[in-house]
Structure 1
Amino acid sequence: MEATPALDDAVVRWSGEPDGRPVIVLLHGYGADESDLFGLSTMLPDAFVYAAVRAPLGMPWPQPGYSWYPIEGLEGRSPERTTEAARRFLEWVDAALGPDAIVGLIGFSQGGAISLQAMRLAPERFAFCANLSGYVTPGELEGDAALAERRPPVFWGRGTHDTVIPEGLIVHTTDWLPAHADLAGRIYPGLGHAVSPAELDDLRVFLEKRI
Structure 2
Amino acid sequence: MTTKQLSLQHIIKAPIGQLEKAPVLFMFHGYGSDENDLFSFAGELPEELFIISVKAPYPLQPYGNAWYAINFDADQNKFSNNEQAIESRDKIANFIDEALEYYPIDAKNISLLGFSQGTILSYAVALSHPEKIKNLIALSGYVNYDIIADNFKQNDFSKLSVYASHGSQDQVIPIDWARKAPELLSELNIEHKYSEFPVGHSVAPQNFMELKEWLRTRL
* Amino acid paired to 2:95: W
Specify the alignment match of 1:36 in structure 2.
37
What corresponds to 1:186 in structure 2? Answer: 195
Q: Deviations over 1:91-137 (max 9, x none)?
A: 11111223962311000001011111011221100011000001111
Indicate the SS of the match to 1:142. coil
- Please give the residue correspondences for 1:143-158 in structure 2 after superposition, counting only pairs within 5 Å: 144-147=152-155, 149-150=157-158, 152-158=160-166
Residue 16 of structure 1: aligned partner: 14
1:124 to 131, 152, 163: 131
CA deviation map 1:3-53 (0-9, x unaligned): xxxx744x3111117841111001000001000011111111112111000
Partner residue, 1:26 = 27
Separation of aligned partners in 2, 1:110 and 1:143: 23
Once the two structures are superposed, residues 48-99 of structure 1 have per-residue CA deviations (whole angstroms, 9 ceiling, x without a partner) of 111000000011x33x100001111478324443222110111111112239
Relative distance call for 1:50 and 1:149 in structure 2 (3 A) is closer
Question: Counterparts in 2 of 1:107-118, with a 5 A limit?
Answer: 107-118=114-125
Amino acid at match of 2:206: A
- What is the CA–CA distance in structure 1 between the aligned matches of 2:177 and 2:87, rounded to whole Å? 19
Which residue number in structure 2 is paired with residue 142 of structure 1? Answer: 150
Partner of 1:4: none
RMSD, aligned CA: 2.4
Q: How many positions carry a matched residue from both structures? A: 201
Identity of aligned residues (%): 29
* Structure 2 counterpart of 1:81: 84
Q: Deviation of residue 169 (structure 1)?
A: 3.0
Letter in 1 for 2:131: E
Name 1:92's counterpart in structure 2: 95
| CA positional deviation for 1:151 | 6.0
- Is 1:49 the counterpart of 2:47? The answer is no
Structure-2 residue corresponding to 1:70: 69
Match of 2:113 among 99, 106, 110: 106
State the AA in 1 paired with 2:166. R
**Cα distance, 1:172–1:148 mapped onto 2, change above 3 Å:** farther
Higher-strand-fraction structure: 2
Runs (5+) with no aligned partner, structure 2? 1-5
- Residue aligning to 1:177: 185
**8 Å contact 1:138–1:172 — kept in the other structure?**
no
1:156-171 matched pairs, under 5 angstroms: 156-166=164-174, 169-171=177-179
How does the TM-score come out when normalised to structure 1? 0.85
* 1:3 alignment partner in structure 2: none
Closer, same or farther in 2 for the Cα pair 1:81/1:166, shift >3 Å? farther
Bigger CA drift: 25-34 or 139-148? 139-148
What 5-or-longer segments of structure 1 have no aligned partner? Answer: 1-6
